[in-house]
């Protein structure tokens, strides 16, 4: 089945059309991961490129994000079903100052599907919110950032965990478009995951 209409409808912000396209693709037996990567995520990448080139503006980007979230809601049970069960408690949030949550939600969804208990700290999550989650028994602290200006708040959060005497009690995993393995090392995180499915693998390794 051709995924171009779903891609285009995300780009155009047509949530209803994205919903029916994803429904049809699933009914046709398409792999949910293919629909996710080749249509939904690919379309958001294109949105980003067009934004950079000044062809799209924030309101259009937001409408595209909502259309993508609509498609994602349909894929959620199918993506979760492809993972095997594990256990552990992960607190995940988008760091202070950052409102991007699509990637973070995707990671949370995959972790839940893999049997983790997920505490979602939402967006614009302060260092204190992560500290509180660690105090409440989270074994892994997951931080997401999409802006080069907010990724530094990952390091600030790690410092807050140190000050609270909790750094050695948790593992820290970070991710998001501008984040790299090298950056993770430089701020003293335990692991970097480039995408949602590797985040699940990494969380399992960290807890093991």
Q: Which residue ranges make up the site for ligand B1M (CB under 6 A)?
A: 41, 44-45, 47-48, 51-52, 58, 61-62, 65, 92, 97-104, 106-107, 142-144, 146-148, 173-178, 193, 195-196, 199
159 or 190: CB nearest ligand B1M: 190
Residue (of 159, 157, 161) closest to 143 by Cα position: 157
- Minimum distance of ligand B1M from residue 12's CB (angstroms): 14
> Which DSSP letter does residue 113 get?
H
DSSP state, residue 168: G
Distance of closest approach, residue 105 Cβ to ligand B1M, in angstroms: 8
Q: Which is nearer to ligand B1M, 29 or 169 (CB)?
A: 169
**CB of 34 or CB of 148, closer to ligand B1M:** 148
Q: How far is the CB of 154 from ligand B1M (least distance, A)?
A: 10
Q: How far apart are CA 34 and CA 157, in angstroms?
A: 34
Distance of alpha carbon 193 from its chain centroid, rounded?
10
Question: Which of 110, 91, 107 has its CA nearest to residue 161?
Answer: 91
């Amino acid at each position: 089945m051709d995924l171009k209409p779903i891609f285009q409808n995300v780009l155009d912000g047509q949530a209803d059309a994205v919903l029916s396209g994803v429904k049809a693709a699933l009914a046709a037996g398409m792999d949910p991961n293919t629909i996710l990567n080749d249509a939904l995520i690919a379309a958001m990448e294109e949105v980003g490129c067009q934004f950079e080139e000044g062809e799209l503006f924030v309101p259009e980007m937001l409408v595209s994000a909502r259309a993508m979230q609509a498609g994602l809601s349909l894929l959620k049970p199918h993506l979760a079903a492809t993972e095997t069960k594990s256990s552990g408690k992960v607190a995940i949030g988008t760091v202070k100052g950052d409102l991007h949550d699509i990637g973070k939600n995707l990671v949370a969804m995959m972790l839940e599907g893999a049997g983790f208990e997920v505490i979602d700290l939402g967006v614009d999550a302060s260092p204190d919110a992560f500290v509180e989650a660690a105090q409440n028994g989270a074994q892994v602290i997951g931080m997401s950032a999409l802006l080069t200006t907010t990724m530094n708040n990952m390091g600030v959060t790690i410092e807050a965990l140190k000050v609270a005497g909790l750094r050695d009690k948790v593992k820290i995993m970070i991710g998001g478009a501008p984040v790299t393995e090298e950056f993770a090392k430089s701020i003293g995180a335990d692991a970097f995951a480039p995408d949602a499915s590797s985040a699940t693998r990494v969380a399992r390794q960290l807890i093991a």
